[in-house]
Structure 1
């Protein structure tokens, strides 16, 4: 995977757009992996950031447990790798959380894979 030069700009734009409506309220960011939690912390240091996984977990094998559903319910922005890495659990969290803000990439859902050129693509 090769990072497109616009990736960080796109991530910063997504966070700044999300932050713009929350001048007085705190921004709640749900990161699917710790790498994206760290990126969100750099771009929005005052945001409440929660990482669904740890560095020791396989992001393919996450369980959609009640604590994750509750965190996604509170999220203003969800930042994930995309490219079907979270396909086994992210859709379930989105459905169970009933948070319309994080169901679409047009609103509060950011997939990093949509901002890069991947080396191999599944047919």
Structure 2
């Protein structure tokens, strides 16, 4: 089965898990990852939001949401997500890395606008 098929099958399985345990944050997060792999970023964000609703202090939910937001060009919201990840896990090196990379990207973009 190709990766597309794996992601679609995974989504079906996560939906079953959510049906039986509607507050299963891990299933929402994993479903969001599968949707992101399928480039369904808005749906992925909706699932990350559900994961956050049921497990609001878990940094990885915010990292994943931030990545999807960044891919949509919603940089300010992405940075807010990374900052929340850092708030809930100040040792989360990945969150710092994501925030730093986005800050560099925004700075470079702003410099380009100024020099054009």
TM-score clears 0.5? no
User: Which structure shows the higher helix fraction?
Assistant: 2
**TM-score, scaled relative to structure 2:** 0.31
Query: Higher RCO, 1 or 2 (CA under 8 Å, sep at least 6)?
Result: 1
User: Which structure shows the higher strand fraction?
Assistant: 1
Q: Report which of the two structures shows the higher radius of gyration computed on alpha carbons.
A: 2
